[in-house]
Structure 1
Amino acid sequence: MEQWQLWPDSDAFLLSEGAFSHPLYVVQTQQTGVGGMALLTLLHQRSAAGIVALSRRPQQEMVSALDAGADVVLPLNAPPDHLMAALRAVQRRCAPRAPAMLRAAPPTELPWTLRPTDHALLTPDGTRIALSANEIVVMQSLAQAQAHRVQRRELLQALWGEQAGDMDNALQAMMYRLRRRIEQASRWPAPVHAVARVGYEFRAPLNLG
């Protein structure tokens, strides 16, 4: 097994770069931020990876976790060798189907369209995603920026002006909600990504319509 990458909660994971590109996931069903079952559903929709769920109440949550997308449900206090055996089994089972699903993923070259007057973002296949006024401000900033990358301070100023100084957490929460809105409304991977020590960027062509 390759080295593990850990996140403190589901919000941090969903805002991380390449969140849905990992080959295996271990998910606790009790989460801060997005609930564990909702996170399992997102992973199952967006990734071909294997998923092991860890639960404090495995008997009560087993059916829900499996229906949400987990391949295996283990107790949160399962011995390490049980967890590793489950991961190896899930990896073997998922390996044959991963390439086909990954080939079906939409290429990053396909253009998205922002329509500010309609308060809408259009996916490459034409799916319409309704956006709030603040989300339109963010998307316009991304659309107009070079390489669709905007510094955090610029977004804070555009959204809140003089009150922007203590709004970092509000911006992070907004960007998370924007990503989640895109993926729940369209089932396309959200091209909005955080860039460490810089801000945010939109990793696909983005046109103003």
Structure 2
Amino acid sequence: MDNPNTPAPESALAWVGLHGTAVRVGEWPVRHFEDSDDFLLSGLAHRFGAYVVESRQRGVSGLDLLRLVRRRSDAAVLLLSAEPLQDFVPGLQSGADMVLGLDAPLEHVAAALAAVERRRGQAQAATGHWTLDRQQLKLVAPDGTEIALTDSDAVILQAFADAPDQRVPRELLLQRLWGPDGAGMDNALHATVYRLRKRIEKNGRLLSPLQAVARVGYEFRARLQQA
């Protein structure tokens, strides 16, 4: 029976191999498995939030274990190898996001996992739904992060939500923000959009999908829906 203080698999990193002694890697609490057999027999194999797999295993090989994990999980996976140059290409082909040396410092492992998570977050921003809640003045990112909005922010995002292709001409944004007085306020619009982009990136883990389009205006490069 698990210790009640043992982290749930979904919020933990599985380290499979004899060198896994760390209690935590970066933001991840660690659950250790001595070898691939121990890991696969646990019944938790495809439930973890991230994985570190050592290439040399008793039982199923590290490369085979990567392939098994990757079939049912898109979580971050690192391969640690005593011969990283030799295992680099096979490791990536088997499903690893990165291959490091078995003697890599723990902070390198943490940084590699963080880099993979960051890229996954960016991909999620491009494919997941963002939700605009005008009543509550908030934007909800695909990962559930809630970003507080100003009235001007909400006006801008509403324009993207209303546009069929989520691309909005500069003139329309000027009109919605300042009405008939909006003409000639390009600098103010640029500053307003810039602050919105920074607010999204500061308060969430994803890059802002709000981007400028040369000679047109701006576009929201992700699916934006309304609450």
* Length-normalised TM-score, structure 1: 0.51
Is 1:167 aligned to 2:185, yes or no?
Answer: yes
Task: Give the partner amino acid of 2:141.
Answer: T
**Which residue identity is paired with 1:109?**
T
Counterpart CA distance in 2 for 1:164 and 1:114 is 24
Distance 1:125 1:165 in 2: 37
RMSD between aligned alpha carbons?
2.0
Distance 1:118 1:168, change over 3 A: same
Structure 1 residue ranges, 4+ long, deviating more than 6 angstroms after superposition: none
Please report how far the alpha carbon of residue 103 of structure 1 lies from its aligned counterpart in structure 2 after TM superposition.
4.6
Identify which of 101, 112, 121 aligns with 1:105: 121
User: 1:56-135, aligned counterparts within 5 Å?
Assistant: 97=112, 100=116, 103-107=119-123, 108-135=126-153
Q: Post-superposition shift, 1:101? A: 5.4
For residue 153 of structure 1, what is the aligned residue in structure 2? 171
Larger Rg: 2
Shift of 1:187: 2.5
Contact 2:121 2:205 in 1 (8 A): no
- 1:123 Cα deviation after fit: 0.5
SS at match of 1:146: coil
For residue 207 of structure 1, what is the aligned residue in structure 2? Answer: 225
Q: 1:106 corresponds to which letter in structure 2?
A: Q
Cα deviation 1:62-120 (Å, max 9, x = unaligned): xxxxxxxxxxxxxxxxxxxxxxxxxxxxxxx9xx9598456533321111000001111
Aligned residues: 115
Which residue does 1:141 correspond to in 2? 159
Q: Is this contact kept in 1: 2:131–2:226, CA < 8 A?
A: yes
Residues 1:170 and 1:157: Cα distance change in structure 2 (over 3 Å): same
CA distance in 2, matches of 1:104, 1:97: 12
- Report the structure, 1 or 2, having the larger helix content: 1
Name the CA distance, whole Å, in 2 between partners of 1:156 and 1:106.
Answer: 29
1:175-190 paired onto structure 2 within 5 Å = 175-190=193-208
Partner-residue secondary structure (3-state), 2:121: coil
Query: Aligned pair in 2 of structure 1 residues 113, 131: CA closer, same or farther (>3 Å)?
Result: same
Quick one: distance in 1 between partners of 2:160 and 2:132? 10
Counterpart Cα distance in 2 of 1:141 and 1:150: 7
Q: Which runs of 5 or more structure 1 residues have no equivalent in the other structure?
A: 1-92
- Give the Cα–Cα distance (whole angstroms) in 1 for the partners of residues 169 and 119 of structure 2: 32
- Sequence identity percentage: 45
**Corresponding letter in the other structure for 2:154:** I
Distance 1:100 1:187 in 2: 13
Q: Which structure dedicates a bigger proportion of its chain to strand? A: 2
How far apart in 1 are the matches of 2:119 and 2:151?
35
Mark the runs of 5 or more structure 2 residues left unpaired by the alignment.
1-107
